[in-house]
Amino acid sequence: MNLIRRTLSSLAVAALVVGTAVAQQTPPKPVPVPRPVMPEAPVPPPPDVDGKSWVLMDYATGQVLASKEPDLRVEPASITKIMTDYVVSAEVANGKVHMNDPVTISENAWRGGGAGTDGSTSFLKLNSQVPLKDLLYGLIIQSGNDAAIALAEHTAGSEQAFSGLMNGYAKQLGMTNTNFQNASGYPIANHYSTARDIAILSRALIHDFPEDYAISAIKDFEWNGIKQHNRNLLLWRDPTVDGIKTGHTAAAGFCLAASAKQGDSRMIAIVMGSTNEKTRADAAMALLSYGFRFYETHKLYDSGKPLATPRLWKGQSNQLPLGVSDNVLVTVKRGDYDKLQATLDVPATLVAPFTKGQQVGTLRVTLDGQPVQNVPLIALADAPQAGFFGRLWDSIMLWFHSDKKPDEKK
């Protein structure tokens, strides 16, 4: 299919019209905050933090801003429980289980998953019944293995079946280097993930289930007369940190998935295989601080607003408004905003009908020639066919139009 491609600045977008290129303004860039007349300092490389692998991700866009061995398969330990939380929250949202369900604590759950665990428990009593919501608190705050297994058995009938749900959701989320074998994260063969996949999962949990995610900011929880503290040290160190989960086994080392929000920006830091509890917290904090200090998020285009109105043939209207379904956000190094370029790829000839929401082309955003965002360009309105005579007339006009030489289409 022939495409019309036009390179645009992020300040203005051209309407792509067969035979004519008509300049069309989009909402202007935000007015920059006045700064001292000083050259922008170059952004330094990310900190060299302690960990086998790590990822710094921007929440708004999902862009990985910095990383070390992001796709290295590692044992996730209790970081696994982020997925346990996600699956239970999804099943609650789907009406399969409910927050007030009484969950019976089986012997398997009571024993906490068997030998080799990191020993974390919510001190659940054998054969007792505990509300599902309280088990979620025990899972997220206390990192209880018993809570994880009890939730898995209640949600799917068995921990093995629940693992199948975990892997199904992982596939849907795009976690391509992950395989779960249990709900708690105790060491077992073929149970692995990566820093990148955990970042993808963390972003999905924050976005899809914000109320359940908020539990990870709670500093302590008491059950069965025993009060336990959240193991995420950053909750006490920085008030902008509100999650997510710690993990540790001898094989996995010390792991931490952390997130913080400053103003309209949120960052996610995943550290896998650090040497101790303090260094994993230091590493995550250093990555979060680096992200907030040296990167900024901008909204380039608004959802539902026309970015182009190309010529439409054989339609009741002779133009087709094109735009994006969601706001287009990008996160770039400070000082790089003016370097962004946008390109609209649209078929050279558009023939009705089109339906609202149908993809027609692609909006591509680049920085120094490297892709930043590829976003579907959709029809913003239905575009039904014209009547018989309207289609006939456009067929004749198209014959003359297609007979033009390429350099005549200006």
The residues annotated with a catalytic role in the active site are 78, 81, 143
Phi, psi of 13 (to 5 degrees): -125, 140
Query: Is the peptide bond prior to 76 cis by the omega test (within 30 degrees of 0)?
Result: no
User: Is 335 within 8 Å of 40 (Cβ atoms)?
Assistant: yes
CA-based max dimension of the chain: 84
Q: In 3D, which of 5, 42, 43, 55 has the Cα closest to residue 258?
A: 55
- The token pair at 349 is 């000839």
> Residue 310 and residue 143: Cα distance in Å, rounded?
55
- The token pair at 333 is 């190094």
Q: In 3D, which of 60, 40, 29 has the Cα closest to residue 336?
A: 40
Residue where the block lists tokens 């390429």: 406
User: Is 367 within 8 Å of 43 (Cβ atoms)?
Assistant: no
